[in-house]
Amino acid sequence: MEQTLDIQTPTEKIYKDRAIWVGTFLGGPLAAGYLIAENFKAFNDTDKAKKTWIYAIIATIVVFGGVFLIPDNVKIPNQIIPLIYTAIAYYLVQHFQGQNISTHINSGGQLHSWWRTIAVGVIGLAITIIPIFGFALLTDSATNAETDTKTYGIMKHEIAFDKNNISETEVNKIAEGLTKTTFFDEAVTKYVYAKKVNNDFEISISCDKSVTSNAEALQPFVQLRTELQTLFPDNKIVFNLVVDNLDNIVKRLE
């Protein structure tokens, strides 16, 4: 008599290990937590599914909270951190679910589509990024809480400054000097940031990065600083030429 081997086909869908790799890389630890937890549910292990969520939330806080603690002078390639937590997630999947995933597939069990995996990754990324942007915005607002601005002339040229660092009277004198040297003209509105370092006046001016390699592009700023310096015999004038933000100083003239 021929014996028929009864193999029960799983009814639940799962995420393959490679899909979890992709979803984690796209969406971070939260996406990994969801994908791995859903697999545990399919394997009827709800206790591990709950623990997975807890670990995923903690990992998200540690990873993205740690990013804010990295000093600005430490340069880390953008891909390094995602590759690290993705590799860790992939190892955990292999260790805790590898055998169950293989058994599921060999038994004819179905897999979730790649589109669903990518969607989970994108949603995980959105859920993670929105609070981070909110925190960054609040931090930036708090940083600029002491920053004042004054405008000058019909073009409303603007000088931003920290009122706890430099007085309004000194800012007005800088504006008067920039007007006399025709930097504050009646053609284009200019924006600068002024601060006082000891007895020096440092003025940050936005410019194109070409000033670092093009002497002709740099010359107007050199001449402007020289002319402005003659109006401030008791204070050294320093120009910080910046690109995109005040911290990105591409050229310093003094």
Fold of 147-253: GMP Synthetase; Chain A, domain 3 (3.30.300)
CB atoms within 10 A of CB 50: 12
Cα(191)–Cα(184) distance, integer angstroms = 9
Segment 38-47 long-range contacts (CB within 8 Å, at least 24 positions apart): 38/14, 39/14, 39/15, 39/93, 39/97, 39/100, 39/101, 40/97, 41/12, 42/10, 42/12, 42/13, 42/14, 42/104, 43/14, 43/97, 43/100, 43/104
Give tens-digit pLDDT for 33-84: 999 999 999 999 999 999 999 999 898 888 877 766 766 666 666 678 888 8
| Segment 218-228 mean pLDDT | 89
User: What pLDDT does residue 177 have?
Assistant: 92
CATH 3.30.300 in the chain, residue ranges? 147-253
Cα(206)–Cα(248) distance, integer angstroms = 10
Share above pLDDT 70 across residues of the chain, in percent, rounded to a whole number: 86
Give tens-digit pLDDT for 117-153: 999 988 888 877 766 665 565 555 445 556 788 999 8
Residue predicted with more confidence, 33 or 209: 33
Q: Are 32 and 23 in contact (CB under 8 A)?
A: yes
